[in-house]
Amino acid sequence: MKRQWLEIGVLSLVTLIATVWLGWWTVPLIGAGWGFSRQGEGFPALTAAVSASLAWVLLLGVTALRGPVGSLADMAGGAMGVPGAVLVTAVLVYPAILAGAAAALAGLVARTQA
Amino acid sequence: MNGKARLVSILQVVLPALLLGVALYGGFRSLGPLPPLGTFLHPTAGIWAVAAQRELPGGTVRIPGVTDSVTVVFDNRAVPHIFARNVEDAYRALGYLHARFRLFQLELTTRAAAGRLAEWFGKSALACDSEQRALGLAWSARRDAAALDSTSEEGRQLIAYADGVNAWIDAMGPADLPLEYRLLNAKPERWNPYRTFLFSKRMSYTLAYSHPDRTYARLVERVGRAAADALIGEAARIHEPVIPTGRDSPRVDLRPLPAPAPAPAPVLGDAATTLPRDGALPSHRRTDREASNNWAVAPQRTANGYALLAGDPHLDLTLPSVWYEAHLVVPEALDVYGVTFPGAPGVLIGFNRDVAWSFTNTGADVLDYYAETLDNLDRPTQYELDGVWIPLKREIEEYFGPHGKLLATDTLYYTHRGPLRRDSLGARSVRWTVLDQEVGLRPFLDMIDARSVGDWLGAMEFHLAPIQNGVVADRSGEIAMFLPGAYPIRPGGRAGFTLFDGSTSSSDWQGFLPVSRYPLSRNPEQGFLVSANQQPVDPATDSTYFGARWPAPWRAMRINQLLRADSAVTPDAMRRYQVDPGSARVEQFLPAMLSAVESASPALVGSEAIEAARLLGEWDGQYVPDNERAVLFELVLGALKDATWDELLVPGDTLGRRVMTPGEDVLAVLLGDPTSVWWDDRRTAETVESRDAVIVASLIAGYREAIERYGEPADGGWRWGRVGTANIYHLLRFSSLSALDLPVRGGRGTIPQMSERGTHGPSWRMVVELGPEVRAWGVYPGGQSGNPTSRWYKDRLQLWADGGLDPLPFPRTAAELARETTAGSFTIRSVRP
């Protein structure tokens, strides 16, 4: 369990740095790399998904320290016809889908090759 | 492997593959109306970065072309005080600031003028784009830009301004992109002088696109030429003109309104129906939307003995505002404070160390339509002029969609007069001063460093369009009202609200009024000057045709009334007058409403009319938010118009629309003629209605409607604050970025008049005292920043709604701004070699 948390921490950190320095598209790549390396051992897709979510939430938290993210969510959500909470939720869900799905697929490929 | 296990293993592949595929596709590409989610949701560079954007620039900013360092200090209202060493550098700084704070606004306005909104909004914007291009605004702006001499003073300043805008665009990182671009998945385009011309054309379209031609034709068909001439209002019925006549009260034209002809024949025929409807576009219902005011008071009528000037131009109220406040200082050249238009250099309304000025729209008739004869209506190549076939100029217009996809093409044709419009009934070209060449920005750039009223008048002599009522005052105590611009001279001195025969050059304009005949009043004996979009000149003193359908002069009457009664005007009185809730309109109509009931027998009038009159009798005529009688007055007056102008109903129109509603001054004067045939309702053949019968019926109708809409009078639903509200929409009309239902003082015909929907009103209020040291106060609804999360997005709204003004700091040097009143500063230098 402790190891799993450690993995999530490391993976989150990597995702966080890659997102800031390289871009959002690194999230599925990191997920895929993780899934491939774990070859289905444990729950690589879940770990990747949680880590990606955590990384983006941390980054959003940093952004929130610099400006009113909550009211922006309401404004932008209003403009898009959805509650602001939907946009915030999307920041949690979207990287999770990218990383989790990529990890799951990569794990399958790794197992097939093995 | 059994079937269930196989299904599970298939799902283990398909489900993540599907999810990943959709998430990746949606990350890179737009899914329906959604922007690409990868960049949009990015937690630091995506939409969230908008909240974290730096409120004000700091440090050093590099702008190409800057010849000397420029210091910009923001005061605590986020107004930049720009200290430069030459004018071009000052405009580079202004361009940079406009882009930094209002980039989306810059681009939206000019895209709209260019007819390129479909590139952002898709096919739904095609009709709007097509209309804009048909107006010829982009065509005209292209010609102006091509003719611009880049070495001239104007050329250098426009280029410097563009350099500033582009410096910000080029320096922007992904996190700097404004919210609107993210929502639309768009990127900003670089700026150039053409776009400034586009902006200028768009403003001119807002202010000078008025053509009562079709309305007049319809009127003639309904009531005959004599009545139409009176109703169209070439001459207002109540004269309180911009250029004072020396009278101490308005002149009322008591001539009876000519009776409507019983069954007039079509005069202009079908051709008239091909004219665009006057007021077809929402922004051009003139009488409702023209409500700007400005006035100046000479020292002999002010408490402090210094000239005072007030201005409150009324425009569409938007967030961000159409205005951006700035102070530009260039030693020996410029020291000007006021409101600027994001999209153009210069200060449009403001003051310098010696002079203050403001504008209202004149609404002169500067546009005519000509019925053209074409060789082929569907595929024209030539038009006939004086028996000779002249080749049409043509331009192919292409309309693109959001991803560069060609959506449509169109061919626009031009005669020597201007753009040609065609439909199944015919073709007509338009001559419009706004499209003429030489309508540059030079006068506006020159007036700002005037040292006296005389200097200012000299600079504005060269102004051509849109024609403005410019009020100006200086520290020596001079005041003036000047209406500069290109006034067309039509053949035979004709009025301009008819369709002209395009097949002969004798229909063409024969030139323009010389400057010496521009309306001007300088230091009048009465000691003040007032404009409020009313008829500029009393035709009894000058019969020159300036236009028609002038807004009723209620606001002008009220301002004149206030100033005549005040021989020691203070700056605070000027502020109070700008938000004065009193109404000359109410004074015209309310007594007639009450006396119609008083003079009739109660048995004949009925209890509802008596109650309505009783309620209105309690009213002090003030449009303040907690008043509960103004709503009834408005509904009764509306019913009175409906009942009076039945002669103008569009035949067969089930919605009961009229070809035109005459100005309220016409109705007010008609009240003095109780036996006029206009009071008779043609729809009731067996009865001949009298004036008082129509008023009583209107009281009943208005009272019933008030109860239906707002409940019983005692229930609290009649509060004016529920009706007289400001609705200040974001440029894209997103409610979440707007400020809606803001209670404000004032109603129709009052000085702070808002449009019916509360979307058009006082866009900037300014009061200037021209003493030894100029003092000024101002406010506009909104704030300096276009970023909705900024504290300067709508920080001034409440002060504006409450009728307050902020003092405007006017330092000579950066050091003069007290440290506690500044919010930040930065320096501009040239790019490193």
Q: Quick check: B461 pLDDT over 80?
A: yes
b/e burial code for range B84-122 (CB count within 10 A of at least 16 → b): bbbbbbbbbbbbbbbbbbbbbbbbbbbbbbbbbbbbbbe
When comparing pLDDT for B410 and B441, which is higher?
Answer: B410
Closest alpha carbon within chain B to A83: B736
Please tell me if residue B39 touches chain A, with a CB cutoff of 8 Å.
yes
User: In this predicted model, which residue has the larger pLDDT, B667 or A40?
Assistant: B667
Residue numbers of B between 782 and 811 with CB closer than 8 Å to A = 788-789
Put simply, whether A59 touches B (Cβ < 8 Å) is yes
Given A63, A97, A100, which is nearest B43 (Cβ)?
A63
Residue B276, C-beta contacts closer than 8 angstroms, at least 6 positions apart: B211, B214, B421
Q: Amino acid identity of B356?
A: A
Return the residue in B9, B29, B40, B47 with the most chain A beta carbons within 10 A, the one to mutate for interface testing.
B47
What pLDDT band is residue B602 in, cutting at 50, 70 and 90? confident
β-pairing verdict for B367-372 and B426-432: antiparallel
B759 Cβ contact partners less than 8 Å away, ≥ 6 residues apart: B316, B317, B726, B727, B728, B729
Note the pTM of the prediction, 2 decimals.
0.93
* Residue B20 CB neighbour total at 10 angstroms: 23
Q: Given B34, B39, B50, which is nearest A72 (Cβ)? A: B50
Least confident of B427-441, B605-619, B747-761: B427-441
CA pair distance B70, B92, nearest whole angstrom: 9
CA dihedral angle for residue B578, residue B291, residue B236, residue B689, rounded to 10 degrees: -100
pLDDT at B108 over 90: yes
Point out the residue among B28, B48, B736 whose CB comes nearest to the CB of A63. B48
Of B17, B52, B736, the CB nearest to A75: B736
Phi/psi of residue B391, nearest 5 degrees: -65, 140
* Tokens (6 digits) for B659: 């070809």
pLDDT in tens, B279-332: 333 333 444 567 999 999 999 999 999 999 999 999 999 999 999 999 999 999
Decide if B806 contacts B39 (C-beta within 8 A).
no
Do strands B59-62 and B822-829 pair parallel, antiparallel, or not at all (unpaired)? parallel
Instruction: Check: CB of residue B345 under 8 Å from CB of residue B161.
Output: yes
- Cβ of B44 within 8 Å of Cβ of A68? The answer is no
List CB contacts (< 8 A) between B23 and chain A. Answer: 28, 94, 97-98, 101
* Contacts with A64 from chain B: Cβ below 8 Å: 48, 51
Q: How much is the CA Rg of chain B, to the nearest whole Å?
A: 29
Pick from B37, B50, B735: CB nearest A78:
B735
pLDDT, averaged across chain B:
91
Which of B20, B31, B181 is most worth mutating to test chain A (most A CB atoms within 10 A of its CB)?
B20
pLDDT digits (tens, 9 = 90+) for B330-352: 999 999 999 999 999 999 999 99
Instruction: Give the span between the Cα atoms of B81 and B62, in whole angstroms.
Output: 18
Q: How far is CA B278 from the centre of its chain?
A: 16
Q: What is the pLDDT of residues B171-224, one digit of tens each?
A: 999 889 999 999 999 999 999 999 999 999 998 888 888 777 778 888 888 899
- Residue A86: name the closest of A95, A75, A77, A78 by CA: A77
Question: Which of A23, A72, A97 has the CB atom closest to B789's CB atom?
Answer: A72
Tens-place pLDDT, residues A58-71: 999 999 999 999 99
- Within an 8 Å CB–CB cutoff, is residue A96 touching chain B? no
Could you give the CA distance from residue B572 to residue B765 in angstroms, rounded to a whole number? Answer: 13
Q: What percent of chain B has pLDDT over 70?
A: 96
* Predicted pLDDT at B269: 46
Q: With CB atoms and an 8 Å threshold, state whether A108 touches B12.
A: yes
**Tens of pLDDT along B217-269?**
888 888 998 899 888 877 789 999 999 999 999 999 988 999 998 665 554 44
CB contact under 8 A, B43 and A98: no
Q: Cα distance from B466 to chain A (closest Cα, Å)?
A: 35
Is the CB of A69 inside 8 Å of chain B's CB atoms? yes
- B746 φ/ψ angles, rounded to the nearest 5 degrees: 105, 155
* Exposed/middle/buried for residue B418 (C-beta within 10 Å: 0-12, 13-18, 19+): buried
CA-nearest residue to B28 within chain A is A25
**What pLDDT was estimated at residue B53?**
87
* Confidence grade of residue B616 (pLDDT, cut at 50, 70, 90): very high
Distance from CA of A14 to the nearest CA of B (A): 15
* Set of chain A residues whose Cβ sits within 8 Å of the Cβ of B25: none
Split at pLDDT 50, 70, 90, the class of B438 is low
Choosing among B37, B48, B730, B794, which should be mutated to test the A contact, i.e. which has the most A CBs within 10 A? B48
Q: Scanning every residue of chain A, which has its alpha carbon at the shortest distance from the alpha carbon of B180? A: A76
Indicate if the pLDDT at residue B780 is higher than 80. yes
- A78 near B CB under 8 A: yes
User: Most confidently modeled of B76-80, B366-370, B426-430?
Assistant: B76-80
Residue B565: how many other CB atoms lie within 10 Å: 7
CA-based nearest residue in chain A for residue B181: A76
H helix runs in B690-824, sequence order: 691-710, 720-723, 797-801
Rg (CA), chain A: 15
Q: How far A82 CA sits from the closest chain B CA (Å)?
A: 11
Q: Is A87 on the interface with B (CB under 8 A)?
A: yes
Q: Which of A13-22, B23-32, B111-120, B601-610 has the lowest mean pLDDT?
A: B601-610
Q: Which residues contact A1 (CB under 8 A, 6 or more apart)?
A: none
Pairing label, strands B426-432, B80-83: unpaired
Asked if A94 has any chain B CB less than 8 Å from its own CB, the reply is yes
Q: Which candidate, B747, B703, B749, places its Cα nearest to that of B724?
A: B747
The residues, any chain, with a CB within 8 Å of residue B750's CB and separated by 6 or more, are B554, B555, B558, B580, B581, B582, B583, B585, B623
Query: pLDDT at position B265, please?
Result: 56
Tell me if A19 and B52 make a contact (CB, 8 A cut-off). no
Query: Do the Cβ atoms of A78 and B736 come within 8 Å?
Result: yes
- What pLDDT sits at residue B271? 44
A19 inside 8 A of chain B by CB: yes
In angstroms, rounded to a whole number, what is the distance separating the alpha carbons of residues B381 and B658?
Answer: 38
pLDDT of B323 reads 98
Residue whose C-alpha is closest to residue B44's, from A79, A76, A67, A29: A67
**Beta bridge pairs of residue B649:** B658
Closest CA–CA distance from residue B727 to any residue of chain A (Å): 17
| ipTM, 2 dp | 0.96
Instruction: Please give the share of chain B, as a percent, with pLDDT higher than 90.
Output: 77
Contact B150/B159 with Cβ under 8 angstroms? yes
Min distance B38 CA to chain A CA atoms (Å): 6
- Can you give the pLDDT at residue B833? 62
Residues in chain A: 114
Say whether B43 and A60 touch across the interface (CB within 8 A): yes
Between β-strands B725-730 and B318-319, what pairing exists: parallel, antiparallel or unpaired? Answer: parallel
Q: How many CB contacts within 8 angstroms connect chain A with chain B?
A: 119
Task: Classify the phi-psi angles of B105: left when phi > 0, otherwise alpha if psi is within -120 to 50, otherwise beta.
Answer: alpha
